[in-house]
């Protein structure tokens, strides 16, 4: 599986464009996501095996947990790849794509606040930059995640929604399918998508050729330390 990386030979302008292109290619698909997938509550998307375009989810993954009541996300952790980042709500920009976190906050993850809240029924979407002008950003190592890895979302009500990754996909721009990438796979299930740039960097187009999409589903719930008091 190819990964988005900061190109050693890229110019500063190229890096700036790359860091800011997280949703250039996905602007259309995210708009479709908001107005088509969630708006119509599409379900029944085939669950692919990691590295494949279709098929059944890998064996040995835990059963899904019942969806939780709504609560705003505050932090997302992916312990297996060292991600621990604050989450900020984001809307749509003037071009109809999700407005990503500011470039001066490369360690921040954006959550599309018009979609599902993480832990509730539906597919919640979080986005993060893969790199900046000079260094890796929050989702630089996202494509290294593996099925079975945990994603924990700390929520404003003191709960911690624990998701289990079921697959990691690289969707090429030339054959992007928003339905497969973002559609809720099992009706009524609480799901989560983490999205960043992937593939190779196209110096002519000044953008990455693909997106990395990590798909996970709710498998447990805990309490944030100190929230009991």
Q: What is the pLDDT of residues 100-138, one digit of tens each?
A: 788 788 899 999 999 999 999 999 999 888 877 778 888
- Ordered by where they begin, the domains of the chain are 12-47+62-223 (2.40.260.10)
More confident position, 201 or 189? 189
More confident position, 229 or 212? 212
Asked whether residue 45 carries a pLDDT value surpassing 90, the answer given is no
| 205, 150 contact by CB (below 8 A) | no
CA 224 from chain centre, in angstroms, equals 22
- Residue 87 phi, psi (nearest 5): -115, 135
- At 151 the pLDDT is 97
Task: Tell me if residue 114 falls in helix, strand or coil.
Answer: coil
- At 199 the pLDDT is 61
**Assigned token pair, 213:** 């999409």
Asked whether residue 31 carries a pLDDT value surpassing 80, the answer given is no
Asked whether residue 173 carries a pLDDT value surpassing 50, the answer given is yes
More confident position, 228 or 30? 228
Share of the chain above pLDDT 90, in %: 41
Strands (DSSP E) found in 13-158: 73-78, 83-90, 109-112, 122-127, 150-155
195-222 burial, b at 16+ Cβ within 10 Å, e below that, comes to: bbbbbebeeeebbbbbbbbbbbbbbeee
pLDDT, mean of residues 34-42: 35
Average pLDDT of the chain is 74
């Amino acid at each position: 599986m190819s990964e988005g990386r900061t190109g050693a030979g890229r110019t500063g302008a190229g890096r700036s464009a790359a860091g800011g292109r997280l949703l250039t290619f996905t602007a259309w698909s995210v708009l479709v996501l908001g107005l088509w997938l969630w708006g119509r509550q599409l379900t029944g998307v085939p669950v692919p095996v990691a590295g494949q375009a279709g098929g059944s989810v890998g064996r040995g993954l835990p059963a899904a947990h019942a969806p939780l009541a709504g609560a705003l996300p505050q932090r997302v952790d992916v312990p297996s790849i060292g991600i621990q980042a604050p989450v900020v709500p984001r809307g749509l920009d003037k071009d109809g794509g999700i407005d990503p976190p500011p470039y001066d906050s490369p360690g921040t993850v954006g959550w599309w606040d018009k979609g599902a809240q993480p832990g509730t029924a539906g597919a919640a979407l979080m986005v993060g930059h893969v790199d900046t002008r000079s260094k890796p950003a929050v989702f630089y190592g996202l494509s290294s995640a593996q099925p079975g890895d945990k994603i924990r979302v700390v929520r404003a009500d003191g709960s911690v929604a624990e998701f289990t990754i079921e697959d990691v996909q690289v969707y090429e721009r030339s054959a992007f399918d928003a339905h497969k990438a973002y559609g809720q796979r099992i009706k009524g299930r609480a799901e989560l998508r983490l999205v960043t740039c992937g593939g190779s960097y196209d110096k002519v187009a000044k953008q990455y050729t693909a997106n990395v999409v990590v798909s996970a589903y709710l498998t447990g719930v805990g309490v944030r330390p100190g929230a009991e008091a």
